[in-house]
């Protein structure tokens, strides 16, 4: 079963706008990660945020984590056509557990 639920399931925005997607999870975690997947291909690691961090930036990406609400958000600023992809959050099973549990994903479409 999937621990993470992502919201929205699909999002379409104009190029240049910001995109925000949210992830909720159920159990305690050490770290939370975000991945991108272009259609039918492998996943690309975007960013990892540790449970003791509240916010992290990487280029045009900003991730927040609220462990009290068991939720995270991914913000992509100044979107580009190349950002069109599915985005997944992934949580670990705690220290020493290498199993990643993925969310259901958000399908992002950037309209040129």
The binding track of 77-96 with respect to other proteins, each residue x by CB under 8 A or -, is: -----------x-x-xx---
Strand ranges, E, within 39-105: 43-50, 55-58, 61-66, 71-76, 85-92, 100-102
∠ at Cα 1 (90, 72), nearest 5°?
A: 30
Distance in angstroms (rounded) separating the CA atoms of residues 57 and 60: 8
* Residue 45 is a binding residue for other proteins (CB under 8 A): yes
Structure tokens that stand for 69 in this block: 């609400």
Q: For other proteins, which stretch binds (CB under 8 A), given 15-23, 59-67, 68-76, 97-105?
A: 97-105
* Residue 101 is a binding residue for other proteins (CB under 8 A): yes
* Residue 104 is a binding residue for other proteins (CB under 8 A): yes
Give the interface with other proteins as residue ranges (CB under 8 A).
2, 30-31, 33, 35, 40-45, 48, 88, 90, 92-93, 97-105
């Amino acid at each position: 079963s999937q621990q993470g639920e992502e919201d929205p399931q699909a999002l379409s925005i104009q190029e240049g706008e910001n995109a925000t997607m949210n992830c909720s999870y159920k159990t305690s975690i050490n770290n939370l990660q975000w991945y991108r997947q272009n259609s039918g291909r492998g996943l690309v690691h975007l960013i990892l945020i540790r449970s003791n961090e509240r916010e992290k930036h990487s280029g045009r990406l900003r991730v927040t984590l609220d462990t009290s609400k068991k939720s995270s958000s991914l913000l992509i600023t100044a979107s580009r056509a190349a950002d069109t992809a599915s985005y997944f959050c992934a949580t670990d099973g705690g220290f020493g557990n290498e199993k990643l549990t993925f969310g259901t994903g958000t399908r992002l479409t950037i309209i040129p």
